[in-house]
Structure 1
């Protein structure tokens, strides 16, 4: 009898040990679980990471969220005040202070920011509020803070002679901001801006500003949109937008004291002083091909234009409208054949206008089969 009871006690102890062993992974998993966050962006996408809880407040690292939102972070000299700036969005916090500034107004931030391992941490609720998000929730079962609708404030900007030009990534709007800080919209460049954005500025002798905004996008970056504007004292007086595919060269900005504005189909030569259109040309009619054209040079007697697809540089006589295919005049047979038949990366010649000297135009041939740095001379007809 005592032996049986001892056996029962032994079996019970074994059973309890096995049961405890089965429970250990679950308990260990619960202990290892760390609070986290999942934030959904208004334009799509999600950000996630770990949360640090202090004094009943959930904090998250600010750097990654700021980058995702298009905000730049700057610190004051004391390294105690952090400023966050993006397009039409700014806020600032101070380490160990429960008050901050959001869009120019003092506000409570619901916690005290701190720095840990060189990283600034902010209360989750404040970050969501600052980024115009909502629906902040805490899931006790998954130990997760969630929120949605966080906005993005990405923009590409460059400043020239006191004017800052900004392309807003989310909307494709182009703004100009003066030294007073007042912004006004110049143009709509499309919807969401993808890819690279390049600004180029030319100050004319007559006091006008020629602005070019070039966007390169698509996969693999073979689409181009070129917005051109002429401004007088910061005010828009002329604009055009052109689109190109695969091939790209910069359009010329000026020629013969006139500014060049083109949408790829029409060329306007703008008077350098008044901003009025002095002359206009139908590029499709002159080039003879239904295509978008680059304008690579303008002189008193000529235009240098190139159709996007066929890619052969043409000299157009401004008086007669006569057309000269320059590759036929300047290149040898091998290079001519290359220009006509090779389609990698695209058809056409690689002639580049270098300069004018008297009645002679000089070009360089940048074709892969002959990059000889030689200057090819073309004499304008009398």
Structure 2
């Protein structure tokens, strides 16, 4: 029997599988209800709505062997909001989704769910040319999403990606693009809802995670939106014990992003969280250690990045002017370093340059280290590009 007729029959079978598919498609409206505080879930989409096909062109092609249609596991998984991880202890592949997790091994015709149930796939998992292929039944039986092979590298599924995904070690994270619902959990287990991050307008977005200790993780999101994508937002969220306990967001609006570094991650076990003009040092469990009002301290009404934290000083940079400020943590006093280190001519050059231009450089000062009370900075000249070394001595108060 030819490939086309088999694919046609599989397409017709999508409606029969829609009872499983509705479980996945119910996710978005249920999350909307969580976000709005509704007490009952909304209506589940109809079978016809759930069976709308999305055509995909993947990196690797499918094939048929002994009557079984094989699909590339990694390619398909990423487009169905599933995360794939190798479990070296069990020599198995774990495929984890929001409502189901399974493990499987090459050469075996079955998969095991997180609850220990067996799913028969009808054929073995194969590895060809370093690519893992699974029978198409894996996705319909385990995750409720039928996969239709349309020849070569073309596929169709009744599903559209809704989540941004990331992982660190064996901890997995999913963020709903529309409602900001965050899920987390170990690979091979069904994740739990951690909370809601105040995201909006996600467009050019990336997400990463970092392990702090056995119970706590930091999730970082960066997004650029609009045309020409000059609305830049950074989020840092703290998850402890499976729950979202703290979050912070800073928004920068301007064509200029030169010289704006990411916020330093932590200092002495406290996570650095910047909420626009407020710096908070937070314990891994979410308790606040110290808060700084950067607007009040510096007198600069702008969004900030925190480049360095030490026992007695902070280095912060306001977005618009891009000039590095030193804050004495004991006295609460702040100093604009370019006015202390650069020549009068270089100061005048910087102050005359419109800070709304896309190539406005900021002060070009970069902190390179500390020796006692002496701080070292490297400066790149504005016109010649020469590298100059500067030092600054902390006041006796520090």
**Band of TM-score, shorter chain:** 0.5 to 0.7
1:361 matched to 2:375: yes
1:213 matched to 2:223: no
| Paired residue secondary structure (1:380) | coil
Q: Is the 8 A contact 2:182 2:194 kept in 1?
A: yes
2:249 aligns with 241
- C-alpha offsets along residues 195-244 of structure 1, whole Å, 9 cap, x if unaligned? 433445668xxx9978462535557797341305386x888765433334
- C-alpha offsets along residues 231-270 of structure 1, whole Å, 9 cap, x if unaligned? 6x88876543333453531324556896643212212345
1:13 aligns with none
Which of 273, 285, 293 is residue 296 of structure 2 equivalent to? 285
Tell me, in whole angstroms, the C-alpha distance in 2 between the residues paired with 1:129 and 1:155. 23
How many pairs were matched up? 335
Q: Is the 8 A contact 1:360 1:378 kept in 2?
A: yes
Which of 334, 339, 360 is residue 328 of structure 1 equivalent to? 339
Tell me, in whole angstroms, the C-alpha distance in 2 between the residues paired with 1:175 and 1:287. 38
Structure 2 vs 1, CA of residues 360 and 187 (structure 1 numbering), >3 Å: closer, same or farther?
farther
1:21-100 counterparts in 2 under 5 A? Answer: 45-47=54-56, 52=63, 58-69=69-80, 70-72=82-84, 83-88=93-98, 89-92=100-103, 99-100=110-111
More strand per residue: 1
Tell me, in whole angstroms, the C-alpha distance in 1 between the residues paired with 2:311 and 2:168. 33
Structure 2 vs 1, CA of residues 208 and 360 (structure 1 numbering), >3 Å: closer, same or farther?
farther
TM-score by length of 1: 0.63
Instruction: Give the deviation of 1:105 after TM superposition.
Output: 1.8
2:389 aligns with 374
Where structure 2 has 5 or more consecutive residues not aligned to the other structure, the ranges are 15-23, 29-52
Structure 2 vs 1, CA of residues 208 and 355 (structure 1 numbering), >3 Å: closer, same or farther?
farther
Structure 2 vs 1, CA of residues 227 and 95 (structure 1 numbering), >3 Å: closer, same or farther?
closer
Which of 103, 106, 122 is residue 118 of structure 2 equivalent to? 106
Structure 2 vs 1, CA of residues 258 and 62 (structure 1 numbering), >3 Å: closer, same or farther?
closer
Q: Is the 8 A contact 1:87 1:155 kept in 2?
A: no
1:227 matched to 2:236: yes
The CA RMSD over aligned residues, in Å, is: 5.1
2:262 aligns with 250
TM-score by length of 2: 0.61
1:311 matched to 2:322: yes
Tell me, in whole angstroms, the C-alpha distance in 2 between the residues paired with 1:117 and 1:178. 28
Tell me, in whole angstroms, the C-alpha distance in 2 between the residues paired with 1:147 and 1:181. 24
| Paired residue secondary structure (1:149) | coil
Where structure 1 has 5 or more consecutive residues not aligned to the other structure, the ranges are 1-30
| Higher relative contact order structure (alpha carbons within 8 Å, sequence separation ≥ 6) | 2
Structure 2 vs 1, CA of residues 220 and 227 (structure 1 numbering), >3 Å: closer, same or farther?
same
Tell me, in whole angstroms, the C-alpha distance in 2 between the residues paired with 1:297 and 1:273. 19
